[in-house]
C-alpha cells in the first residue's frame, strides 16, 4: 500500500453536544495534515480545539462528516482501541501519570499486551533516555518536576511508536522555561523521528514554533497561517519596518548616509523581496 498523502484528513466534520439544537462543538471542519507536519491549533476557549483533537484521536465520535487518519476511516473502524494504541499518542495539559507507578512503569503501560516484559522495559528505557530522563526512571511522578512529568507523558505517548502525536495544551500548566523544553522535545521528535504532531495551544510563542497555525472559532477553522523559517520571518519583519521601506523605495539620501552604493541597495532590495508576505 502506498503511504497516504494525508495523515489527517477531515471533511465537513461535525460534533453536536446535546442533540439537535445543541452546541455545535465542530461545525464543518475541513483539515488536512501531511505526514511529517508540526501543526498548532489556536482559538478562544470553547471554540472546539479539544473536541477536534479527541475526534481525530478516536477518543470521541463525530456526528457527521468523515475523518481519515493514516488511511483509516474512523467511522468504519470497529476496533477503536487497537487504532488508538497503534496510531495515536496523546499528551494532555495535565500529564495523567499514575502516581503510584515509577516513570519507567508509567511508560511501560501502553505496551502491555504488545510486548513481553523485557522488551517493554527496554523500550521504556530507550524512550525515557530520548526525553532526557535516563537518570529519573525509578522516580514516582510526585518526585519529578512538572516539566519532567510532562516529558514522561510524552515518552508514554510514543510507547507504541505511533505516527501521530496529539497534544492538548502540553505546556499549559508549565512555567515558560519548562514549556519551552517540552516544545523543543516535540520539535525534535517531529524533525528527527518524523512524528506528525498536532498541538493545541493558547501560547502564540508555542504556535510560532510550529510549521502551520490553524485558528478555530465557534467550531470552525477560520484561518490558517504558514509559519516561515526564522530567517524568512526576520526578512518579512524587516521588509515592513521603516528602514526596509526606505530601502525598497531606493532612498538615495539614506543610501548615501549608510555609504551604500546603488548596487548595494539593489542587493538589499532583492534580499528584502525574498521575505514574502
Ligand X SMILES: Nc1ncnc2c1ncn2[C@@H]1O[C@H](COP(=O)(O)OP(=O)(O)OP(=O)(O)O)[C@@H](O)[C@H]1O
Chosen residue from 8, 9, 48, 158 binding ligand X by CB under 6 A: 48
User: Cell for 221?
Assistant: 477553522
Instruction: Determine, following the binding rule CB under 6 A, whether residue 171 of this chain makes contact with ligand X.
Output: no
Chosen residue from 45, 78, 192, 229 binding ligand X by CB under 6 A: 45
In the complex, least distance from residue 156 CB atom to ligand X, rounded to whole angstroms: 22
Chosen residue from 40, 47, 150, 209 binding ligand X by CB under 6 A: 47
DSSP conformational letter for 243: H
In the complex, least distance from residue 45 CB atom to ligand X, rounded to whole angstroms: 3
Chosen residue from 51, 171, 201, 209 binding ligand X by CB under 6 A: 51
For the segment 5-44, give every residue that binds ligand X (CB under 6 A): 17, 23, 25, 43
In the complex, least distance from residue 50 CB atom to ligand X, rounded to whole angstroms: 3
Calpha distance 14→29 (Å, rounded): 7
State which residue has the least CB distance to Mg ion. 50
- Report how many residues bind ligand X under the rule CB under 6 A: 11
Q: What residues contact residue 268 under an 8 Å CB cut-off, 6+ apart?
A: 247, 260
In the complex with ligand X, the residue whose CB is nearer, 137 or 200, is 200
CB 130 within 8 A of CB 122: no
What is the chain's length?
A: 277
Instruction: Determine, following the binding rule CB under 5 A, whether residue 50 of this chain makes contact with Mg ion.
Output: yes
The option from ligand X, Mg ion, none interacting with 23 (CB < 5 to 8 A, set by class) reads ligand X
- Rounded to 5 degrees, φ, ψ at 222 are -100, -15
Chosen residue from 49, 84, 120, 136 binding ligand X by CB under 6 A: 49
CB 80 within 8 A of CB 59: no
Helix (H, G, I), strand (E, B) or coil at 101: coil
**DSSP H helical ranges for 57-213:** 80-87, 103-108, 117-130, 146-157, 176-193, 204-207
Closest CA to 211 of 192, 230, 193: 230
- Report how many residues bind Mg ion under the rule CB under 5 A: 1
For the segment 232-271, give every residue that binds Mg ion (CB under 5 A): none
Which spans of this chain sit near Mg ion (rule: CB under 5 A)? Answer: 50
Amino acid at each position: 500500500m502506498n503511504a497516504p498523502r494525508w495523515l489527517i484528513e477531515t471533511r465537513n466534520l461535525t460534533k453536536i453536544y446535546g442533540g439537535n439544537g445543541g452546541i455545535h462543538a465542530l461545525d464543518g471542519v475541513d483539515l488536512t495534515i501531511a505526514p511529517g507536519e508540526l501543526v498548532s491549533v489556536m482559538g478562544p476557549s470553547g471554540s472546539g480545539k479539544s473536541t477536534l483533537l479527541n475526534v481525530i484521536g478516536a477518543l470521541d465520535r463525530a456526528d457527521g462528516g468523515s475523518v481519515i487518519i493514516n488511511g483509516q476511516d474512523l467511522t468504519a473502524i470497529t476496533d477503536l482501541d487497537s487504532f488508538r494504541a497503534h496510531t495515536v499518542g496523546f499528551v494532555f495539559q495535565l500529564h495523567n501519570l499514575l502516581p503510584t507507578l515509577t516513570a519507567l512503569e508509567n511508560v511501560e503501560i501502553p505496551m502491555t499486551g504488545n510486548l513481553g516484559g523485557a522488551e517493554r522495559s527496554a523500550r521504556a528505557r530507550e524512550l525515557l533516555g530520548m526525553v532526557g530522563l535516563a537518570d529519573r526512571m525509578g522516580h514516582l511522578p510526585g518526585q519529578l518536576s512538572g516539566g519532567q512529568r510532562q516529558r514522561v507523558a510524552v515518552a508514554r505517548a510514543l510507547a507504541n511508536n505511533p505516527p501521530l502525536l496529539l497534544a492538548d495544551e502540553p505546556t499549559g500548566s508549565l512555567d515558560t522555561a519548562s514549556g519551552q523544553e517540552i516544545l523543543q522535545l516535540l520539535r525534535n521528535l517531529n524533525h528527527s523521528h518524523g512524528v506528525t504532531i498536532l498541538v493545541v495551544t493558547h501560547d502564540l510563542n508555542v504556535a510560532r514554533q510550529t510549521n502551520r497555525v490553524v485558528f478555530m472559532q465557534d467550531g470552525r477553522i477560520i484561518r490558517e497561517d504558514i509559519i516561515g523559517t526564522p530567517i524568512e520571518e526576520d526578512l518579512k519583519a524587516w521588509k515592513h519596518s521603516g528602514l526596509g521601506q526606505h530601502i525598497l523605495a531606493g532612498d538615495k539620501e539614506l543610501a548615501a548616509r549608510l555609504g551604500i552604493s546603488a548596487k548595494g541597495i539593489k542587493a538589499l532590495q532583492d534580499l528584502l523581496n525574498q521575505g514574502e508576505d
